[in-house]
Structure 1
Amino acid sequence: MTADGTRLGVLLPTGRAQWGAGTDPRELVGFATHAERLGYDSLWVNDSLVTPRIEALTMLAAVAPVTTRVTLGTAALLPVLRRPVSAAQSLASIDLLSGGRLVLAVGAGFPGRLGRPMYDLSEVPWRDRFTRLDETVALWRRLWTADGPSSYHGRLLRFDELPPATRPYRPGGPPIWLGGATPAALARTGRHYDGWLPYPPDPADYAAGWSAVRDAAGAAGRDPAALTPALFVTLLVCDDVAAAERTLAEYSQVTYGMPLDVLRTIQVVLAGPAARIVERLRPYLAGGARHLVCRIAALDLASQRDQLERIAELLPLLGTGPGDR
């Protein structure tokens, strides 16, 4: 963490496409402990049913007992993939086993080949997905805070009888952040969630979005300062810019099935020497971002490890201005 409170996290490469041929996925546990030793503030996993990967909550459960300090997070968890009551128990259990280090960024999924098919596999309607997400989060909070049996009655989720649930380590349960940057998502973040984790390619959109989240929080009678402004960013540190662009192009095609120039219209994707990346991140920090969740754009575990060490070196640079170096 820098002097101004900026935190650095890394997404664990749980997808098979990021391991590389012949890799033992159990090495991901060592990857996580190495990240903690390097000084990262947080470790993250993402969630999917349509690409081969280690299941998100299983990965966090494996990492919880071998780490001691880092936040363990989801970026992002798709609650629709799990039954809501049993998911509440799993999440509370991970928070207990980690000593209260769990943070949940959640999302409802996006249209396209990586979004809607997961609803079909979960046998849940795509329609009303945002209402379902908000109600699932409200149900979890009810389960984590109720004294004894309770009930929950939303528009989509209705439970007349809820038994006493597993309580998380932290009173009230882990913080829950929301991804997304539409006007509706910004308003919902401010009203109902504990943080914001988007990936806008334009830092001006980040600043405007964070301002809207804070305004929505204030209008709802909440303290905007209690919310965490985070940023999900795909990174590749490489002194050879041309080589970095080639690697990113391959990563984009393998991971998303789309050209790099298309991906860059959707997400913030940065590559090049460390100083160049830091300068590209500064406008996001000026716009309010204080927790960076970095996804490494590499397609084998050896390259992931190399990048893990190179990205860790960015944190001291982020805490200084151009005239301080």
Structure 2
Amino acid sequence: MNTRLGVLLPLGQSHGDDARQLVDFAVRAERLGYDSVWANDTLLGPRIEPLAMLAALAPATERVTLGTATLLPALRRPVMAAQELASIDHLSAGRLVITVGAGFPGRSQIEYAVSQVPWERRFRRLDDTVALWRALWSGERSFHGKLLRFDDLPASTPSYRPGGPPVWLGAASPAALERAGLLYDGWLPYPPDPADYRTGLTAVRRAAAAAGRPVDAIAPAMFITVLITDDVEGAEQRLDTYCRTTYGLPYQTARTIQAMVAGPADHVAATLARYAAAGAEHLVCRLAAPSLDAQLDQLELIAEITRPTAAGPSSR
């Protein structure tokens, strides 16, 4: 398995009076050989805001890719967001990867409402926003999308890298697979079966080829919830507790939506290897542990089972 390894920061968990422990968490991941650290995005519940988190990590880390998984652009004014992201790209010397999404039916409508953005046509708005960011990062002074239109844009902060940081799509519907192949630089889904990942990646690459893009233009990544434990009988119960706390859903429901694995180290390693064999070149792990200390333990356990296959940092 020649796969890069990332970890999702526990932004929504209680950190006592010092959220700066999250910086220590990311630095520890880098020292353990992880290739990337990621921050997710929601307005549902108290948490550390992801772009502020990545800005704090830029000078504290040296090597790891800093990513969003997944950023909801609709929650932010698009021109200001372009400046924020370009700034993080500069602060990290080009280590930023932006995974974006349009939210989840039944969960994200309230986030759109309090952000004063209509839920309707959210996918078109997402694609327009990303295209606007790229235009701003390249110094363009006007933009005409299907929903977003600006005739007189102010000079904006250029990105550290020409054309801007890579933008990945975190979605896996049939329409999303086509859009990933046509418009995005990477794909970060979480299908519950490796066979579904292989099928989806084939569709993404087919869409890319039809648009005249090279197959390797889209970085194939994967998001998976992980828990290493020798308590085989209690593994699913621990995942159930985690899913109910995190999503308000039982494990038996959540497992049909996204990739999850719990059990002994060899079982977890074998599951990760199956996704790698299906084509995933970058695995992003959400650690299904209830506290920061427990997540640090998981961070080390996962590093132990994957360290022989570490491939070095990437911002593809």
TM-score range, shorter chain: over 0.9
**Alpha-carbon deviation of 1:240?**
1.3
Map 1:1-325 → 2, pairs under 5 A: 4=2, 6-15=3-12, 18-19=13-14, 22=16, 24-113=18-107, 115-146=108-139, 150-316=141-307
- Unmatched segments (≥5 aa) in structure 1: 320-325
- CA–CA distance in structure 1, aligned partners of residues 234 and 294 of structure 2: 14
- Contact 2:33 2:307 survives alignment (8 Å): no
**Alpha-carbon deviation of 1:26?**
1.6
SS in 2 for 1:201: coil
Residue by residue over 1:66-119, the C-alpha shift from the partner in whole angstroms, topping out at 9 and shown as x without a partner, is 100000000000000100000000000000000000000000001013x11111
The amino acid across from 2:117 in the alignment is V
SS in 2 for 1:133: helix
- Contact 1:23 1:301 survives alignment (8 Å): no
SS in 1 for 2:102: coil
**Alpha-carbon deviation of 1:317?**
5.8
SS in 1 for 2:42: coil
- CA–CA distance in structure 2, aligned partners of residues 316 and 270 of structure 1: 19
SS in 1 for 2:271: helix
TM-score by length of 1: 0.93
**Alpha-carbon deviation of 1:243?**
2.8
SS in 2 for 1:231: strand
SS in 2 for 1:103: strand
- CA–CA distance in structure 2, aligned partners of residues 205 and 193 of structure 1: 20
Number of aligned residue pairs: give it. Answer: 310
Computed over aligned residues only, the root mean square deviation of the Cα atoms, in angstroms, reads 1.3
The amino acid across from 2:59 in the alignment is P
- Unmatched segments (≥5 aa) in structure 2: 311-316
SS in 2 for 1:294: strand
Residue by residue over 1:170-190, the C-alpha shift from the partner in whole angstroms, topping out at 9 and shown as x without a partner, is 111100000111110000000
- CA–CA distance in structure 2, aligned partners of residues 241 and 116 of structure 1: 37
- CA–CA distance in structure 1, aligned partners of residues 35 and 17 of structure 2: 26
TM-score by length of 2: 0.95
- CA–CA distance in structure 2, aligned partners of residues 40 and 283 of structure 1: 19
- CA–CA distance in structure 2, aligned partners of residues 7 and 296 of structure 1: 16
**Alpha-carbon deviation of 1:23?**
5.6
The amino acid across from 1:56 in the alignment is P
Residue by residue over 1:140-190, the C-alpha shift from the partner in whole angstroms, topping out at 9 and shown as x without a partner, is 0000112xx510011210101112211111111100000111110000000
The amino acid across from 2:39 in the alignment is V
- Contact 1:144 1:167 survives alignment (8 Å): yes
Q: 2:314 maps to which residue?
A: none
**Alpha-carbon deviation of 1:318?**
5.5
The amino acid across from 2:76 in the alignment is R
**Alpha-carbon deviation of 1:202?**
1.2
- CA–CA distance in structure 2, aligned partners of residues 266 and 158 of structure 1: 35
Q: Percent identity?
A: 63
Further displaced range: 276-285 or 198-207: 276-285
SS in 1 for 2:142: strand
